[in-house]
Amino acid sequence: MEEKIYIKPPPQQASTSTLKDPAGKGEGDDNIGERPYKRLYQTWKGGNIFVFGGRFIFGPSVISLYLTLFLLITPVVLFSLFIPQKLSLEFGHKSSIVITAVAAFFTKFDLFLLLMTSSRDPGIVPRNTEPLESEENSNGIVFPVAKDVIVNGIVVKVKYCHTCMLYRPPRCSHCSVCDNCVERFDHHCPWVGQCIGKEFRFFFLFVASTTLLCIYVFIFSLINLCKTMEVNKSNIWHAILESPIASLLIVYTFIGTWFVGGLSIFHLYLIYTNQTTYENFRYRYEKKRNPYNRGFFRNINEIFFSRIPESKNHFRAKVLRPDPITEKTSTACSTTSTAVDLEISGGKRKAVSESEMDEVKFHFDSLRGSMDNTT
């Protein structure tokens, strides 16, 4: 028998203009003040870190982002301080300026892509704040823990998330690190400290540009080492002692090129087939046709040239402060459990059309409108 879960019917919500402090005596009491408002990001239950008043959203592991910045900037600084100056003796002063300028451009572009990847909403699905009840009653609704949704003629399983209390849309998965359901979830990247979802294009460009930067530094550091051997007419070991910075950069960028270069090639394959990392590792042995693969050119257009969906969470929207008595959060981004009620037939999972899942998106859109009214 299929496992089912019970969803508590949503309570009737009062207008935000009449919600009062729970310590008050009644609506007509002149001494009653409304419950103070807070921003949504201040009451967010996920593990994210918000800065600049909720304008930037990072993952919980910000320290790893600092480490990535250190590993990216330090070798470029060493390269700019030592390598172009030595090469200027062979190629002239103007060439050293060009070499330094190109390295600086690559680095700035890389840092921009890193910021776009790590500080944006990756596609977090608004979670439901209504708790589940363990006992059934006549007013309750019973849902299966999984449903089958038809996507491009192929059946895709849709599971219920017990943490966010909603049915996850297709290609959505719950990140155990950030504690959020993320649309088009690719993976949680520890190097950028953020989930990779709808900002995948920036992540791929960041990895690819880092690969090019590593190759650039490697080539000119190797040229510097070869010129040192030529000028001093010495072997490679003496040249390494003469140019320790160049030698260190050669080893560092060689390892880095294999790492980020291999990652770039792997993600090129994922782009070619329109897969996510999560789908590739999870479903590679099931031998099912990929319902999202629309051909190379359409896949490229979807990844790089299509419009990135707006965030479904207005993190700066005003919401009521959590009620200290009921310990429930009344937020403008919450969706009721009935928003994801899927048709049940005979206690078995029934494949429903993709259009029926649009009801979930409808509630997301109505949610955004309700939040705009509170700001």
Q: What is the pLDDT along the chain (375 residues), one digit of tens a residue?
A: 445 444 444 444 444 443 444 444 444 444 434 568 888 888 888 899 999 999 999 999 888 999 999 999 999 999 999 999 888 877 888 888 999 999 999 999 999 999 999 999 999 999 887 754 543 444 555 667 778 888 888 888 888 898 888 889 999 999 999 999 999 999 999 999 999 999 999 999 999 999 999 999 999 999 999 988 888 788 888 888 989 999 999 999 999 999 999 999 999 999 999 999 999 988 775 677 889 999 999 999 999 999 998 999 999 888 877 665 544 443 433 333 333 333 323 334 444 444 445 554 544 455 455 555 545
**What's the pLDDT at 179?**
94
Catalytic (active site) residue 226:
no
From the list 164, 189, 214, 333, the catalytic residue is 189
What's the mean per-residue pLDDT of the chain? 79
Interatomic CA distance for residues 319 and 38, integer angstroms: 5
Interatomic CA distance for residues 324 and 35, integer angstroms: 11
| Residue 181 · residue 173 · CB < 8 Å | yes
**Where in the chain are the domains?**
4-8+33-374
Count the neighbouring beta carbons within 10 Å of the beta carbon of residue 370.
Answer: 15
Model pTM score:
0.75
Give the contacts of 41 (CB within 8 A, at least 6 positions apart): 48, 50, 53, 54, 57, 315, 316
Between CA 169 and CA 375, with CA 360 as vertex, the angle to 5 degrees is 115
| Residue 286 · residue 99 · CB < 8 Å | no
Give residue-wise pLDDT tens across range 276-292: 999 998 877 567 788 99
DSSP letter at 370? H
